[in-house]
A and B are shown apart, each in its own frame.
Chain A
Amino acid sequence: MSDVVEKTLSALPSLLSLDSQAGAGKLSPSSKLGNLIKGITELTSKHEEEKLIKKELAAIKEQVASPNTSMRQMKEIMVRAIYCEMLGYQASFSYIHAIKLAQQGSVLEKRVGYLAVSLFLNETDEFLLLLVNTVLKDLQSTNLIDVCMALTVVSQVFPRDMIPAILPVVEEKLTHPKEIIRRKAVLALYKFYLIAPNQVQHIHSKFRKALCDKDPGVMAASLHIYLQLIKESPESYKDLTVSMVTILGQVVGGKLPMDFNYHSIPAPWLQIQLLRILAYLGKEDQGTSELMYDVLEDSLRRAEMNHNMTYAILFECVKTIFTVHPKAQLLEKAAECIGNFVLSPKINLKYLGLKALTYVVQQDANLALPHQMTIIECLDHSDIIIKRETLELLFRITNAQNVTVIVEKMLEFLRMTSDDYSTIDLVGKTMNSVFSLGGDVMQPDIPNNFLRLLADGVDSVEDRRMRLFAVDSYVSLLQGETAQLPQRFLQVISWVLGEYSHLREEQDSGTIMRLLARLLDQRNTSTETRSWVLGAMTKLCSNPVSVALARDVCERYSGSLNTVLRQRAQELMILSQDTELRARVLPAEGRLEHLEVDSSLSFLDGYVSEALAAGAAPYKSPHQRQEDLAQEKALTLEPYGLSLPVSLSSCSVTDRLTDGLSPTLLSMSSGLSGNGTELSHGGGSTTLKLDGVKRVWGKEGYLAQQQSVEDAPTPPVQLPSPLLSPQRPPSQTQTPEPDQEKQQLASSLFVGLGSHNSVCLMGRAEPAPQHFRRKPRGGSSGASERSSDSSHSSRSAAVDNLLLSNLLDSTTVASEGGATTTTPQQTSQRTLDHTTSNGSPHVEGKEEGVAAGGSLSLIRGMVAVVLPTHTETDPQSDLHPAPHPAPALERPGDLPLTSHLPAELSGLARSELTPLCSDQDPSLALSACRVYKEDALVVLVFIVNNTNSTLHQMALQLTCKELEISCISGSPLKEVKGHSVSVCLHTVVMKRASVQVELAGLLSYQRPLGQPQAAQFSLSLSLKHFIRPLTVSTGEYGKMWLSFSHDLKQNLRLVTTEHQEPLTATLDALKSKLHLHIVDIIGSEGIVACRLLQGEGHGQPCLLHCRVHANTLAVWLRSPVPELPDSLLYHCQKALTET
């Protein structure tokens, strides 16, 4: 539609003056409407417009009232009245005339009359009753146009009570020979169904007829009704599934007339309607769902054009697939589809992708994992709607681990848009889930910020709405089971209820009081929470019921051992009885506003000067005092000299702790002044006894905030908050680059998912915990060190190397002593060790983090990023020959396994041997090796039979859904003779790029006279094993660059060496580790190309453009496939951090 000529209003006067010219023909400037419009455009102020319209309306009013006005003039007048209404001026006097026009006019005038009626009137308007007879008459007219108009108006506005009057006639139209009439009749009935469902119940069978109508338009119209019916009771319409599936199949297959195509997509509206219906039908119903899998797959497959409409269909399809009973294969395809949305550069599609993700993560939170970086980027998107949707998505993946970060993001967002209506709902519900999920773990200033947010708003409707929302949701929460709610959340709840429950007028404050009292009675409610509750009750006790309740509570707690509780109870008692005082102390509205704290304590000035005048010593700050003491030290007696400075310094420690944190704390746990002293002078007799003395003075003056609570729960410093915990200090270690921050953010957001995921992906019940690792006994110190410690120092690698050759080539059994002899048990033990150390994601993460330069904050990033897929990643395994000895190969007489390599592969680059698990059967050892062929990755599995007997019925099966695996060993494996080695070759390519995949293997075999046995193992392959250099010229590179659509930018760290330019050094490092091809280096820029092995002879290219910028390497990746840049970038990052 870009070819639409833009003709702005400024061009209007000149157009109007060209009276008889072609373009102006339609504009009818001489008509009265034309004059009116022209008049309005010539005006300059709103005021003038008002005057003109008033005049116009007066004229219209006069004309319509005149008996001499013909229907034809009336029609013209009505158009002007509609125009005035559109400009926002009431022309209610004309409504009745609109009805009259519809009643009495000829077809031409009737049309305008009906239009005016549908624009002016609401369903509830009494005027509409006057229209019923006209509609009835027109419905029965022989003129098709009359019938059409009547049906149109009926589908838009019709009084509900009058439906029975016309229902039979409309029903009759369902069998009308003209399809347009049938279609409109169906829609009219749909409308009736919406406003009065029980009145159309008897015609359900006729709807079925409409569904089978030979005209696709009528059939499509009937789907509106069916969507509604099926939504309400899917059970009653299961029999329709087959029909719906058939229809969708026909539509998708292009069986409908071309008329229904939209940009050569067959009947998209119909498709979407059907997909929605299928979703309702298949929801939680496996049998029904199975009927539709084929057609769903078909629509996914067929929707391949790059058009908005295709994406609309895909979106609906994905939604349906995730709603019906799951089928793994379809889910996978749908998830892939979401990926395309999310990674799309088009903002509308990205939004829809996020929306789809939000929908699907409710079923499987891990689906968000591949898109973490995109999600992080969207979180900072300039368009607020993207941000908002991202937050919604985050809200869905909230768990106990990431709750803090998510809440921070929410609050950040909220600060920006605090008066935005639409955010309220999101924030409200998020906060609730967040509090109940992680209440006690989160930083105390989060609830504080939340409460401030509630309290801060001035007088907007939105604030009120949000508070009401909070009150409502909390009341319903308290009505349920409250025992497991975190204390902090209970505190927030009581504060909010105390402050704002008066907003909910119909809610009796007695009810809330009772709920709160119930909280007090609960055994596990902490003292701190109790005092909050009492505070809330004090605010609430306004009516007699509550006062009585308050008295009960007071009696119970005024005897409490806890001073704070006792004080609160007393206050409650006094204030509940003295309404006047209460009104003054606690005004009903806005208690929190404008609290001023006089930090200079000027109100004490008078008192101080009096005291000074009376001879008191002037105040000295603790620091000053300490200095003074130091000076006086020579004169001081020993005991004082020792004790005072110490106690002061210990005080200042507490000061630092509390002052550093307390300003933002809600908690009353800042504690007693005695704490520090007590701690440091457990039994000291020379110190002042401060126990039990309430601390009211701090470094900054009066600590108004602090309450002494003797059994105050966990001081804030000890909160196991993930951000504050001692192992991860703080921001000094943070790397400044924004991308690392992003990664860090990603890790903290997706942390819970990651660990969960790793469990699933590894296919084990749980990753083997670290403490299972045990060093083998015996003297094989080198070997044991090696296998239990997977650090990558080259020194140990060298040792291994020696050892390995020793193991493999030695010709004597145990003749060299215990050092190199290993019993089968030990072997298996060691292998186990090895797998555990690699299999434990925790260890892995740490190693990565350390490798990344000791940045502690990065560790978290790495853990989370690494967790999902890594089980066996040995970043340097390709560099050092055989860091893993093949422990099962110590049988004398054996050649190194590598000698079993097929000749055609022997010249190629290969990895070292990796032992695969052999814990089930010591006599059988498996190991694997990767050979990097130009067009494929070859995985060799060596099967070593350590016994004398032959193994029969051998079958090796490798499976991985992300990989395409084909067996290339010449003769299929059947048996392995005693003490021999057999090799299986498989070529492997990736179906789609992913950072790391897990290859699962199953070897089944049978010993003579034995049962069939099976050995399971897994081998992880990373993307870099599938990356090959792509040799292109600079020119070709340029062409490819422009044609690729998926891109990604990130800054990486530069490698610095002494004798090379940083860029060259970095690119060389990448080249050697990832097999990239450096196309060209020009100045501070370098271009690099590679391809990902995929399918037979195919490869997906990925281009990198690198530029040195402010000590970082700005990398820009482009590829035709969406996932490749993401995964490759990950490996680049990893490769560089290792260097």
Chain B
Amino acid sequence: MCQPIKIDLTASPAERLAHFTGWDCTFLKNRFESTIHSVFESTIKLKMQFMLLFSRQGKLRLQKWYVPLSDKERKKISRDLVQTILARKPKMCSFLEWRDLKIVYKRYASLYFCCAVEDQDNELITLEIIHRYVELLDKYFGSVCELDIIFNFEKAYFILDEFLLGGEAQETSKKNVLKAIEQADLLQEKNVLKAIEQADLLQEEAEAPRSVLEEIGLT
């Protein structure tokens, strides 16, 4: 493309006829078959569009969509984004323009946290939203690692829902978020105790609240 090639853009049809004589160009017919579909055209613009957590190997660990999208679109977006972000070098900017959105991502150990916001939004604050979420996870799980999120992803979702609601920061006080989670967990524990009496217990449920109790003891 860099080399200017002589092409007669203004060639009259008569000249073109000469050029095209005996030249088959039917293979070009279906060139524009593929239709384009803009994913975000009809959606209401919220502050955050979605949040993805994925591992260094590109495995999705958490996905939260704040805009209604079809399954197919979600898959395509997460595949594209994971590829794009994993290809970026560590020293590069944490922001990324992607379609008409701004992607803000950050890597914590083996996990990538990635948010999509509107182009006009403040990228730095989004970066800090990610950080606050990580802090919340860290506080809840106690030095969080990827495995905590893999095995207790529903808890990670609960925390996220207390922090961000519908794509907006709901509660920015760390204490309040954790208090809300703990309250629900405590209730859950009561049920679990009831369940123990019924001798119908799955191991993980007994243990998960215990870690929460430790957490309460700490705070």
Residues of A participating in the B interface, judged by any CB pair closer than 8 Å: 1, 3-9, 12, 15, 25-28, 30-31, 33-34, 37, 72, 76, 79, 82-83, 86-88, 90, 106-108, 111-112, 115, 118-119, 122-124, 144-145, 148-149, 152, 155-156, 180, 183-184, 187, 190-191, 194-195, 217, 220-221, 224, 257, 259-260, 262, 267-270, 272, 308-309, 311-312, 315-316, 347-348, 350-352, 355, 382-383, 385-386, 388, 415, 418, 421-422, 425, 445, 448-449, 451-453, 456, 458-459, 461, 464-465, 495, 503, 531-532, 535, 538, 567-568, 571, 575, 582, 584-587, 589-593, 595-597, 663-664, 666, 668, 704-705, 707
In the complex, chain A residues whose CB is within 8 Å of the CB of B40: none
Question: Can you offer 17 A-B residue contacts whose CB atoms are under 8 A?
Answer: A4-B109, A4-B145, A8-B110, A28-B204, A119-B63, A221-B170, A308-B128, A312-B125, A351-B95, A352-B123, A422-B99, A459-B34, A461-B34, A571-B12, A582-B13, A590-B28, A705-B8
In the complex, chain A residues whose CB is within 8 Å of the CB of B46: 194
Q: Are A465 and B12 in contact (CB under 8 A)?
A: no
In the complex, chain B residues whose CB is within 8 Å of the CB of A348: 93-95, 123-124, 127
* Number of A-B residue pairs at CB separation under 8 A: 299
Q: Are A5 and B165 in contact (CB under 8 A)?
A: no
How close is A82's CB to chain B, nearest CB, in angstroms? 7
In the complex, chain B residues whose CB is within 8 Å of the CB of A272: 122, 125
Q: Are B187 and A108 in contact (CB under 8 A)?
A: yes
In the complex, chain A residues whose CB is within 8 Å of the CB of B12: 535, 567-568, 571
Q: Does B134 make an interface contact (CB < 8 A)?
A: yes
Q: Are B154 and A7 in contact (CB under 8 A)?
A: no
Q: How far is the CA of A8 from the CA of B150 in the complex (A)?
A: 11
Partner of A4, one of B7, B144, B183, B211: B144
Beyond the given A108-B191, A217-B173, A531-B10, could you list 7 further A-B residue pairs with CB under 8 A, ordered by the A residue number? A9-B146, A262-B172, A347-B92, A422-B99, A453-B1, A459-B34, A464-B36
Partner of A459, one of B31, B143, B153: B31
Q: How far is the CA of A86 from the CA of B66 in the complex (A)?
A: 16
Q: Are B203 and A4 in contact (CB under 8 A)?
A: no
In the complex, chain A residues whose CB is within 8 Å of the CB of B216: none
Q: Which residue of A lies closest to B103 (CB)?
A: A385
Q: Does B2 make an interface contact (CB < 8 A)?
A: yes
Q: Are A1 and B125 in contact (CB under 8 A)?
A: no
Q: Are B191 and A106 in contact (CB under 8 A)?
A: yes
Partner of A7, one of B14, B131, B147: B147
How close is B165's CB to chain A, nearest CB, in angstroms? 5
Q: Are A589 and B31 in contact (CB under 8 A)?
A: yes
With A34-B204, A259-B176 as contacts: A663 and B32 at CB distance below 8 Å: no
Q: Does B213 make an interface contact (CB < 8 A)?
A: no
Q: Are A155 and B123 in contact (CB under 8 A)?
A: no
Q: Are A584 and B20 in contact (CB under 8 A)?
A: yes
In the complex, chain B residues whose CB is within 8 Å of the CB of A503: 32
Q: Are B134 and A1 in contact (CB under 8 A)?
A: yes
**Chain A contact residues: over half helix, strand or loop, or mixed?**
helix
In the complex, chain B residues whose CB is within 8 Å of the CB of A156: 66, 161, 165-166
In the complex, chain B residues whose CB is within 8 Å of the CB of A590: 25, 28, 31
Q: How far is the CA of A350 from the CA of B93 in the complex (A)?
A: 9
Q: Which residue of B lies closest to A350 (CB)?
A: B93
Q: Which residue of B lies closest to A667 (CB)?
A: B10
Per the CB 8 Å criterion, the residue count for chain B at the interface is 109
Q: Are A8 and B146 in contact (CB under 8 A)?
A: yes
Q: Are B9 and A448 in contact (CB under 8 A)?
A: yes
Q: Are B7 and A452 in contact (CB under 8 A)?
A: yes
Q: Are B151 and A260 in contact (CB under 8 A)?
A: no
Q: How far is the CA of A87 from the CA of B171 in the complex (A)?
A: 30
Q: Which residue of A lies closest to B162 (CB)?
A: A152
Q: Are A83 and B7 in contact (CB under 8 A)?
A: no
In the complex, chain A residues whose CB is within 8 Å of the CB of B200: 72
How close is B205's CB to chain A, nearest CB, in angstroms? 8
Q: Are A27 and B151 in contact (CB under 8 A)?
A: yes
In the complex, chain A residues whose CB is within 8 Å of the CB of B4: 445, 448-449, 452, 663-664
With A187-B166, A664-B4 as contacts: A4 and B20 at CB distance below 8 Å: no
With A4-B138, A595-B19 as contacts: A115 and B154 at CB distance below 8 Å: yes
In the complex, chain B residues whose CB is within 8 Å of the CB of A461: 34, 36
Q: Are B93 and A1 in contact (CB under 8 A)?
A: no
Q: Are A269 and B169 in contact (CB under 8 A)?
A: yes
How close is B135's CB to chain A, nearest CB, in angstroms? 7
Q: Does B208 make an interface contact (CB < 8 A)?
A: yes
Q: How far is the CA of A82 from the CA of B96 in the complex (A)?
A: 29
In the complex, chain A residues whose CB is within 8 Å of the CB of B66: 156
Q: Are A385 and B122 in contact (CB under 8 A)?
A: no
Q: Are B191 and A663 in contact (CB under 8 A)?
A: no
Q: How far is the CA of A308 from the CA of B91 in the complex (A)?
A: 16
Partner of B69, one of A1, A122, A352, A593: A122
Interface string of B168-192 (1 = CB under 8 A from A): 1111111110001001100110011
Q: Which residue of A lies closest to B32 (CB)?
A: A464
With A4-B145, A259-B175 as contacts: A82 and B9 at CB distance below 8 Å: no
